[in-house]
Structure 1
């Protein structure tokens, strides 16, 4: 079972790196918002895997809070972009 968890953790970490690259490069603000949402989602997945590996149920509370914060940040950025956003993109 630990080999499966390690391979899943490796895949999520690779996805996290790719999401970070998209967040860094852009090219536009909506692309960065989607990358930020993907970053938050992958982080929740990593926390979930660590919860399974460590067998600590309290980490699920951290994953839930992280998921809610990621959702609220996405809603906030979407409203910002909808209202015109920055003028330089």
Structure 2
């Protein structure tokens, strides 16, 4: 009789393989920097999951440091990319200006008449 842990390990490994291939496809194809960054983060999660699966099958915890390291690298990388992309938006400076009370530079607040009525 087949051990249920073996079946679960093969099933989990197959799903992780499919996830890794899909993430690699997204890294290569893009189309944007954010898509690639998310795919790299997914690939790190798949790697961590594969290490956890291997530790569960072989009943040891030798690779737990690698799992924590991959999680840390994924978090720091995601935050770094998010900050980089946030600063590159063209409307980024407009948002800071529009927060100042009394300014009229708020997008969409031009002196246009309201629909259905006249001023």
TM-score when scaled to structure 2?
0.67
1:74 counterpart = 2:75: no
Structure 1 runs of 4+ off > 2 angstroms?
Answer: none
Q: Quote the RMSD (CA, aligned, Å).
A: 1.3
Q: Which residue of 2 aligns with 1:30?
A: 34
Residue aligned with 2:31, SS: coil
- Number of residues paired by the alignment? 85
Q: Which residue of 2 aligns with 1:58?
A: 62
Residue aligned with 1:83, SS: helix
Relative contact order, higher structure (CA 8 A, sep 6+):
1
The 1-side partners of 2:60 and 2:73 are apart by 21
TM-score when scaled to structure 1?
0.88
Q: Which has the higher helix share?
A: 1
Which ranges in structure 2 are unaligned for 5 or more consecutive residues?
Answer: 90-119
Larger Rg: 2
